[in-house]
Copies of this chain bind each other. A is one copy, B any other.
Amino acid sequence: MRLSKTFVKTLREAPKDELAKNGALLSRAGYIHKEMAGAYDYLPLGIKVIENIKQIIREELNALGCEEVLMTSLQNPEPWEKTGRFSDQEVDIWFKTELASGGTLGLAPTHEEPIVNMMKSYVASYKDLPLYVYQFQTKFRNELRAKSGLMRGREFLMKDLYSFHASEEDLDSFYEKVEEAYTRIFKRLGIGNDTYKTFASGGIFSKYSHEYQTVLPVGEDTIYYNSDHSVVLNKEVYNDEVLTDLGVKGVEFAETTAAEVGNIFKLKFKYSEPLGLKFSSEDNESKTVYMGCYGLGVSRVMGVIAEKFADEKGLVWPESIAPFKYYLVGIGENGIKEAEKLYANRENEILFDDRDVRPGEKFADAELMGIPYRVVISDKTLAEGSAEITDRRTGESKLVKLSEI
């Protein structure tokens, strides 16, 4: 992409009401535009980051045999009333709206009820199970406060996966596969080392759920971890009963703040029972389907990564999700000519700063935008037949022969 050809510019100022570092930097660097607290537009660079995150998740889930769907935001109350969750007392973050032809609708904050309802058309026999269905879908949550940039959205993008099983063993075995997939996903996203599977509170059918928590100073959660991070607990379950339960009573735990980037849950019959999702077993008995659900916040992960790796100069993207791998600058007539040659046919990898502005301004924008490698070609580097490549993360520069790039 040529910077001269895009409408996006870096901005000196973030929106006045933007309190979160990720929101301010992503706005200034031209990735997002704030519509209101918790609701952001994605600009061309922001779309690229979102799509890169989605693609990593998609590849890992498809490898497990998961299938992609896209469900509606508008929700009929009916299935939600069967589980009691249409009530504003029960679920306090609904956006609701009135249908012109009569009746109240909700905007889906999650999709357990409609997907269970839908699956009644597709699950009849044990032969139809197991099934794994996911979507990347815009969720709406009527948060009272949304001051954390992309980390807490009123309208945000989430991956939600639902699994359907004939037995608890099959659910347990798939749940483990998703745990492994999540480990790979967070590693590929560049936050593997700082993201922990964390015990959190469960529900009617399961004592615990698991959250994926990324260590972060401004994270909204507090977690406790042992020395090798093999046992990590959310504050809500950090008590004697749970420590005893997990066999870690007396072990020393350290406290830190973290941001939740995923949540996986053995639902078992929680939704399939009230909604009547049944199958006929091999013995021709009518049985209730076992379920699991597995969330991962796509736009939240983008916010967490922006927040976590940023330095005083701006954003620092992991290569795997950066909108472009290289930020290219040509200096002087020859430098520009060679830069044009390098750019040709590599438009997907290179953000080419071909604007008619001073090199200093280009360097500052390269840093603010957080592109992993800045490539500068000038008379000085050409004297060595080279380009200077600077690593955004470490700041280290080296000359690389043009023929080797």
Contact = CB atoms under 8 A, between A and B. Distances in A.
A140 B74 contact: yes
A196 interface: no
Contacts of A56: none
A5 B65 contact: yes
A70 B42 contact: yes
B100 A93 contact: yes
A11 interface: yes
Contacts of A40: 72
Interface stretch (A141-149, A201-209, A284-292): A141-149
A107 interface: yes
A112 to B, nearest CB: 14
Given A93-B100, A100-B93, A74 B39 contact: yes
B118 A74 contact: no
Nearest to A33: B118
Chain multiplicity (copies): 2
A144 B92 CA distance: 28
A272 interface: no
B73 A44 contact: no
A107 B138 CA distance: 13
Contacts of A380: none
A307 interface: no
Contact of A42 (B69, B100, B154): B69
A7 B107 contact: no
Contacts of A92: 100
A39 B5 CA distance: 37
Residue in A8, A74, A138, A140 whose Cβ sees the most chain B Cβ within 10 Å: A74
Nearest to A128: B7
A367 interface: no
A212 to B, nearest CB: 25
A195 interface: no
A97 B107 contact: yes
A43 interface: yes
In order of increasing CB-CB distance, the 10 nearest A-B pairs are A42-B70, A39-B72, A7-B131, A41-B71, A100-B142, A95-B97, A35-B72, A97-B97, A39-B74, A100-B144
Given A7-B123, A35-B76, 7 more contacts: A7-B67, A36-B72, A36-B74, A39-B72, A44-B69, A74-B140, A96-B98
Interface of A: 5-9, 11, 33, 35-36, 39-44, 46-47, 50, 65, 67-76, 92-93, 95-101, 105, 107, 114, 118-119, 121-123, 128, 131, 133, 138, 140, 142-145, 154-155
23 contacts: A5-B65, A8-B67, A9-B122, A11-B121, A35-B72, A35-B74, A36-B74, A36-B105, A40-B72, A41-B114, A41-B118, A42-B69, A43-B69, A46-B70, A47-B68, A47-B69, A47-B70, A72-B155, A95-B98, A96-B98, A97-B142, A99-B154, A138-B138
